[in-house]
Amino acid sequence: MRSVSSCLNFGWNLSEPSADKFGMRKILYIVGSDGDGNLIKARDAEKGNEFFCTVCKTELILRKSGRTGPGSKRPHFAHRTLTPNCTPETALHYSFKTLLSQKILEHISLNRTLQFYWQCGHCYDEHSGNLIKRAKKVAVEYNMTVCQPDIALLDESGNVFAVVEVVVTHRPDDNALKFYKDNNIALIQFDLESDMDLDDLELKISRPDLVSICRNPKCERCGHYQHKTKMSIIEAECWRCHSVMKLAVIEEPYDRGSSIGPSQFFKGEIEIARQNGVNIKEQFSGTVSRRYQANSCPKCPGFIGEHYLFTEYHAPAGYGELKSYSFDIGYYCGVCWTR
C-alpha cells in the first residue's frame, strides 16, 4: 500500500559501485603534487618540474604528448618506479576529497554560495542547497569515533551538521549511516567512476549522487518527510445544463496513485477546492454503486464521475483545450495519511 524506506536505505541502491563489464576501470593518475605539496592536474603541469604521488609520495613522470584525437591518452602521471601498494583508486579518492575540501574552504572564506542539486530519495522532487550555508569549518578525515567521514562540515558552534563521503570503491558502512541518521547529520555522497570526474570538478560538485535529507517539512506526528502536492482547477461546462463549473484534481500525489479526484481528497483538500470555487458534494454513482465526493454542478444535480474527470476534463486541460491553473497546496504525510 505504501512504501516506507527502511532507516538506512535512503531510497537508493546501496550496492557497491559497479566496475565496467571487463571488471576493471581505467583510472589514470591525473593529479600529482609539486614539491610543496600543492595538488596539480597533469593538464596544467609543465615538463621539467618534479611531481610526486599524492598517496605513496614517490616520484611521478608527466605524460603529456600534446597530441589529441584517437589513440592519444589524456595528460596523466606515471610512477617512476613500481609501487605495488599504490592504486589509482586511492589517488582518485584522495584528489577529489582534497580538491573538494579546498573548494569548500575557498567559498567559505569568500562567503560565496556553493549551490548543489539533487533528486530527493524521499519525495522524488528536485531539491537544491548551498553547501556552505551553515558551514563555518571544514575537516578532512574527521574522527567521530564511530566513523571518519571524508569531509565534515561544522557549524558555528563546532557541531558537525553534514558530511561528505567520496565513494570510489567503498561506500560508508551501515554503522556510519546509522550514526549520521541518529545524529541528524546530512550525508552528501559523490560516486566517482574515473579520473574524468576530476576534470569538471564544479559540475561534479553541483550534482552529488546521493543526499540523505529532504527539504520538505517533517510530519509532526510520525517524523517522516512530507510530500508536496499540487491542485489543478479546471474550468469546464456542465454536461447536463451547460452552466460554467469548476473541477478539482490533485496532480500525481506521491503514494496515492496517479492524479486523483475529490473521492480521494483529504478533508483539508476538499476545503481548498471549495475555496477555489469548486462545488464538491457527495454523490451516488450507479456505475460503481457507492457514494463518493465528486465535482458537482452548482446549478443542477449533474456531477462528474471519476472516470470522466480524467478522460474528458483533466486530459484535455493538459493539452490546453480547457482553461486550468495549478498551485501548490502544501504538504501531507504519506505514512499517517494526514494533511
Whether the Cβ atoms of residue 296 and residue 303 lie closer than 8 Å to each other: yes
List the one residue from 106, 300, 307, 325 that touches Zn ion (CB under 5 A). 300
Whole-number minimum distance, CB 236 to Zn ion, in Å?
A: 11
Write down how long the chain is: 339
- Contact between 28 and Zn ion (CB under 5 A)? no
Distance CA 22, CA 107 (A): 40
Would you count residue 302 as binding Zn ion (CB under 5 A)? yes
Residue number with CB closer to Zn ion (45 or 53)? 53
- What residues numbered 226-265 form the site for Zn ion, per CB under 5 A? 238, 240-241, 243
Choose the binding region for Zn ion from 31-39, 177-185, 212-220, 266-274 (rule: CB under 5 A).
212-220
DSSP H or E run through 90: helix 88-110
Contact between 80 and Zn ion per CB under 5 A:
no
Minimum CB–partner distance for residue 114 and Zn ion (Å): 20
- Three-class DSSP category at 14: coil
> Is 221 an interacting residue with respect to Zn ion (CB under 5 A)?
yes
Per-residue binder mask for Zn ion (CB under 5 A), 56-75, x = binder: x-------------------
| Smallest gap from residue 301 Cβ to Zn ion (A) | 8
**8 Å CB contact between 271 and 248:** no
Stretch that binds Zn ion, among 68-76, 107-115, 194-202, 328-336 (CB under 5 A): 328-336
- Count of H-run helices and E-run strands, the chain: 6, 18
Q: Binding of Zn ion at residue 14 (CB under 5 A)?
A: no
160-167 and 186-191 strand pairing: parallel
Verify binding: residue 222, Zn ion, rule CB under 5 A.
yes
State which of residues 104, 219, 280, 294 lies at the interface with Zn ion (CB under 5 A): 219
Cβ closer to Zn ion: 65 or 128?
128
**Smallest gap from residue 53 Cβ to Zn ion (A):** 3
**Secondary element (H or E) of residue 291:** strand 290-296
Q: Does 86 bind Zn ion (CB under 5 A)?
A: yes
Residue 336 binding Zn ion, by CB under 5 A: yes
Angle, alpha carbons 185-187-188 (nearest 5°)? 140
123, 163, 192, 236: residue in contact with Zn ion (rule CB under 5 A):
123
Of 33-41, 46-54, 61-69, 176-184, which segment contacts Zn ion by CB under 5 A? Answer: 46-54
Q: In the numeric block, which cell numbers belong to residue 303? A: 456531477
> Applying CB under 5 A, which part among 30-38, 257-265, 272-280, 300-308 lies near Zn ion?
300-308
Q: Does 45 bind Zn ion (CB under 5 A)?
A: no
Pairing of strands 126-130, 115-119: antiparallel
Q: Are 77 and 63 in contact (CB under 8 A)?
A: yes
Please report which residue ranges of the chain form alpha helices under DSSP H.
88-110, 174-182, 201-206, 267-275, 306-308, 315-318
DSSP string, 181-248: HHTT-EEEEEE--SGGGGTTHHHHHHS-SEE---SSPBPTTT-PBPEEEEEEEEEEE-TTT--EEEEE
* Contact footprint for Zn ion (CB under 5 A): 53, 55-56, 83, 86, 120, 122-123, 214, 216, 219, 221-222, 238, 240-241, 243, 297, 299-300, 302, 333, 335-336
